[in-house]
Amino acid sequence: MKKSRIIMILGALLPLMLFVFPLWNITLEAPQYPTPLGMDIYINDFADANPHDIKNINLMNHYVGMKYIPDAIPEFKIFPAGVIITTILGLLIAFKANYKWYLYWFILMVVLSSAGLYDFYLWEHDYGYDLDPKAIMKFTNPDGSVMGFQPPLFGTKDILNFRAHSYPQLGAIFMGLGMALSFIAFFVGKKGK
Amino acid sequence: MKKISYSILTLLGLAMVFTSCNQQGKSASNGALSSNAAEKVYVAPGEHDEFYAFMSGGFSGQLAVYGLPSGRLFKVIPVFSQDAEKAYGYNEETKPMLNTSFGFVPWDDAHHPDISQTNGELDGRYVFINGNNTPRIAKIDLTTFETTEIIEIPNTAGNHSSSYVTDNTEYVVAGTRFSIPVPQRDMPINEYKGNFKGALSFISVDPEDGGMDIKFQVLMPGFDYDKAHPGRGKSHGWFFFTTYNTEEANSLLEVNASQNDKDFIAAVNWKKIEEYVNNGGGTIMPTNYAHNVYDEHTQSATSTMMKEVLMVNPSEVPGAIYFLPTPKSPHGCDVDPTGEYIVGSGKLSANVTVHSFTKMLDAIENKKFAGDAYGIPILNFEDVLAGSVEQPGLGPLHTEFDNKGNAYTSFFISSEIVKWKLGTWEVVDRQPSYYSIGHLMIPGGNSQKPFGKYVVGMNKITKDRYLPTGPEVTQSAQLYDISGDKMELLLDFPTVGEPHYAAGIPADLIKPNSKKIYNLSENKHKYATTSDADARVERNGKEVHIYMTTIRSHFNPDNIEGVKVGDKVYFHVTNLEQDYDVPHGISMIGANTSELLIMPGQTESFVWEPKRVGVWPFYCTDFCSALHQEMQGYIRVSPADSDIDLSWSLGE
């Protein structure tokens, strides 16, 4: 079998690790939390980093009127389906199509994961800004606008007494690796031509 | 002239240089010394101590938890006394813990904590401690640091030679200090001699769940059984008890019990008696004692009255018990880590007597008896003596051991700790105590594996060591570094109640097992309310049960109407928090009881009997959150004959 094909197969399979490892993690640090509060985001679940973390994040956040982190969101159905479909597609391409299709698969994956990230951003924004008007504590920015509590999409940000970290996890890394492999497969295939 | 004055000036100058040098040198070395001691006990903010020390609260009836080397107090665990701070003995869940055959006894005199062992080494699962006055043995679970079991000891009075554990925690032993008529009966006191008896109780500990059960009692002659220690290693299977008042006096014991030149250490082969009992030996004797168990799932205690105990008479098991003559009313009874040496501190003797386990077995083998007491063979003093520490001090009480073959004995009268060598019996160091030390403790110092870094002295007299607080001054302990050849006093620290014995253990053996919260999903309390949807109020005749939840920062329900004067209102409050260190408290105006202090995931109950019509508030007593002050509610109390229905709400 051609080298490029093998690389493409591997690349198409790696995103399946999203069913094992979390996609993203949000961690909240504060002096009163020597063990930080954390939430692992899987493609089909929100999970406690340590037992009861989500319950405790909800308890904290209700003071400023943030909604409870939902048990389930529609994405938990769409994302797994998306991963399975793109994997099957990738495998079909690997076995049946020529190397140019590797690049198309790669582009498809870039588009889909960007859409996923944008969706994540929208949820975060809603979570951070759509506050209960009867919130116990209301904060305003220096310009008088209502302060939002949106966690960062990527990186670290101070929100009141918390320092919020938001970073991709193993699942996302495996997916990125798979995408990179498809890209490499394209070049390897092109060279072999 | 000029020359002379110059030289005088020079001399003066030199002298000044020398003096100032000297002074500087002195103060510098003093400073270095004291800062050295300070550094040794300094535990920086946020850092943890190296050892836990569980120190008996004496007549406070409690057990206090300290860190070593800092001497900082972490928790007072309520054991035998009611504690309004934690609602122990006040709330409905723990009231049964203090039940006895005499009814509810809300106090005791707590003496000798001992940590459970496996293979003669500390395992950090439980601490056992004895209640001296109304004889009881308690077990504290070291995952929760709560008292989870108390067993009353029948046929016993002054439960003092207690609560020491054998190498594998097969037994916790409880011995009677006062001999009494067994069974109790109406008889003249002066007919003590020959009629009073002393019971030694062997309480088995279930290896799985730690459940205690009095396996058997041994009915000994009417002496005072003062202290006890299990055999270790080679002497595992034996238990040793010091005795005094072998004169069997019943009055003015300070004179009449100090006449015999030698009293005894009783050596009890418990394995032999256990075998006898397992084969159906012993006599079932009717009695009455309480066995109180706190169930971690129902979070409630139950008290069961036990009606019989298995009694063994020494004459039934020949060869199981021997007396080792020991000079002058021995108090401390301590066995070294190898199990070979049994140290008996004759508190009125000038010497510390050490018996040899090997020589004891040899004397028994060769039947070298000097006589008998009530049928129990007495061995010859010379035959069992390993050696004695000559004139080490005055008033020897207790001995602990390090891991380098040294023993440390406390001297009450000469107020000091004396370090001596096992085997050569030579005194190698002594350090004063301030003042009049009783027990002393080396972490693991009564096990096969001592951690010989520190010794803690527990003093009987404090006087001027701290800022005065009126006639009653603090109780006190002192920490010495024993890692070098010479002991070094590092620290004085105040203690709760009169500390008798203590038990120390490396923190790493306990810290990882310490529970952070109770899982709500495992809460099996009869009146638990594990979700807000189930919060409610129910009436059953004159009884009103409030199923209340609490979470930052409200009670649910917080408005209740329909309660009437003459009702008996039960608050059953469940803390729905599942976060570390977020307890909630609750207290009701006019309730004739304490507050509740409820840990995350826990349910506790108290009773309130409203006596006056009105609207009465309750509130959270533990500063739980930024909105703690808002955590409050009202109950409307209507006249007894009113027909207002029960109603409850939150946020309406």
- C-alpha B208/C-alpha B223 separation (Å) is 36
Q: Is residue B572 part of a domain?
A: yes
What is the DSSP track for B216-263?
EEEEEES-EEEEEEE--GGGTTEEEEEEE-TT---S-HHHHTS--SEE
- C-alpha B231/C-alpha B357 separation (Å) is 9
Residues of chain B with Cβ-Cβ distance to A136 below 8 Å are 627
B493: which 2 tokens? Answer: 């620290």
Query: Measured in whole angstroms, how far is the alpha carbon of residue B14 from the centre of its chain?
Result: 62
B198, B137: one domain:
yes
B204, B289: one domain:
yes
Q: How far apart are the first and last CA of chain B?
A: 105
- Specify the CATH number for the domain of residue B412: 2.130.10.10
What is the DSSP track for B97-156?
GGEETTEE-----B---EEEEETTEEEEEEEEEEETTTTEEEEEETTTTEEEEEEE-TT-
Residues of chain A with Cβ-Cβ distance to B551 below 8 Å are 59
Q: Is residue B30 part of a domain?
A: no
Q: How far apart are the first and last CA of chain A?
A: 14
Q: What is the pLDDT of residues B304-313, one digit of tens each?
A: 999 999 999 9
- In this prediction, residues A124-152 reach a mean pLDDT of 91
A52 to B517: CB separation less than 8 angstroms, yes or no: yes
Q: What is the pLDDT of residues B127-172, one digit of tens each?
A: 999 999 999 999 999 999 999 999 999 999 999 999 999 999 999 9
pLDDT bracket for residue B18 (50, 70, 90):
very low
To the nearest 10 degrees (0 to 180), the angle between helices A75-96 and A170-192 is: 20
pTM: 0.92
What are B510's strand-pairing partners? none
- C-alpha B392/C-alpha B385 separation (Å) is 17
Q: Is the pLDDT score of B287 beyond 60? A: yes
Q: Which domain holds residue A177?
A: 3-192
B384, B478: one domain:
yes
Higher-confidence position of B6 and B432 = B432
Q: Is the pLDDT score of B52 beyond 60? A: yes
Q: For residue A55, give the nearest of B578, B580, B627 by CB distance.
A: B578
Number of structural domains (chain B) is 2
Q: Is the pLDDT score of B515 beyond 50? A: yes
State the residue for tokens 């006990």: B41
pLDDT, averaged across chain B: 94
Looking at B513, B541, B564, which one is the last position of a domain?
Answer: B513
A173 by DSSP, 3-state: which?
helix
Q: Among positive and negative, which fits the CA dihedral B80, B85, B90, B95?
A: negative
Q: Is the pLDDT score of B24 beyond 80? A: no
Least Cα distance to B392 among B355, B426, B423 occurs for B426
A41 phi and psi angles, rounded to 5 deg: -100, 115
B556: which 2 tokens? Answer: 């649910």
> Would you say A37 and A57 are in contact if contact means Cβ atoms under 8 Å apart?
yes
B553 CA: distance to closest CA in chain A (Å): 9
B468, B590: one domain:
no
Q: 3-state SS of chain A: helix, strand, coil percent to 5?
A: 55, 20, 25
Q: What is the pLDDT of residues B557-579, one digit of tens each?
A: 999 999 999 999 999 999 999 99
Looking at B493, B513, B533, which one is the last position of a domain?
Answer: B513
pLDDT, averaged across chain A: 94
Q: Which domain holds residue B604?
A: 525-649
Q: How many Cα atoms occupy the beta-carbon half-sphere of B527 within 13 Å?
A: 21
In this prediction the ipTM stands at 0.87
Confidence (pLDDT) at B25: 40
Q: What is the pLDDT of residues B452-477, one digit of tens each?
A: 999 999 999 999 999 999 999 999 99
Confidence (pLDDT) at B577: 97
B481, B548: one domain:
no
- C-alpha B342/C-alpha B336 separation (Å) is 7
To the nearest 10 degrees (0 to 180), the angle between helices A3-13 and A75-96 is: 170
B456, B427: one domain:
yes
Q: Is the pLDDT score of B23 beyond 60? A: no
B441, B545: one domain:
no
Residue B51: CB atoms within 10 Å: 22
Looking at B451, B485, B513, which one is the last position of a domain?
Answer: B513
B515 CA: distance to closest CA in chain A (Å): 13
A52 to B551: CB separation less than 8 angstroms, yes or no: no
Q: Is the pLDDT score of A101 beyond 50? A: yes
B271, B364: one domain:
yes
Q: For residue A56, give the nearest of B579, B626, B627 by CB distance.
A: B579
Q: What is the pLDDT of residues B80-101, one digit of tens each?
A: 999 999 999 999 999 999 999 9
Q: Is residue B580 part of a domain?
A: yes
B477, B565: one domain:
no
Q: What is the pLDDT of residues B523-559, one digit of tens each?
A: 999 999 999 999 999 999 999 999 999 999 999 999 9
- C-alpha B391/C-alpha B476 separation (Å) is 27
Q: Is the pLDDT score of A92 beyond 90? A: yes
Number of structural domains (chain A) is 1
Q: For residue A52, give the nearest of B551, B552, B579 by CB distance.
A: B579
B529, B504: one domain:
no
SS3 letters across B26-71 = HHHHHHHHHHHHHHHHCCCCCCCCCEEEEEECECCCCEEEEEECCC
Q: Which 8-state DSSP code applies to residue A49?
A: S
A136 to B627: CB separation less than 8 angstroms, yes or no: yes
- Specify the CATH number for the domain of residue B541: 2.60.40.420
Confidence (pLDDT) at B346: 87
B579 to A59: CB separation less than 8 angstroms, yes or no: yes
B535 CA: distance to closest CA in chain A (Å): 19
Share of chain B above pLDDT 90, in %: 92
> Would you say B235 and B339 are in contact if contact means Cβ atoms under 8 Å apart?
yes
pLDDT bracket for residue B26 (50, 70, 90):
very low
B130, B224: one domain:
yes
Q: What is the pLDDT of residues A3-55, one digit of tens each?
A: 999 999 999 999 999 999 999 999 999 999 999 999 999 999 999 999 999 99
Best of A55, A139, A160 to disrupt the B interface (most B CBs within 10 Å) is A55
B482, B433: one domain:
yes
Residue B543: CB atoms within 10 Å: 12
- C-alpha A47/C-alpha A59 separation (Å) is 16
Q: Is residue B4 part of a domain?
A: no
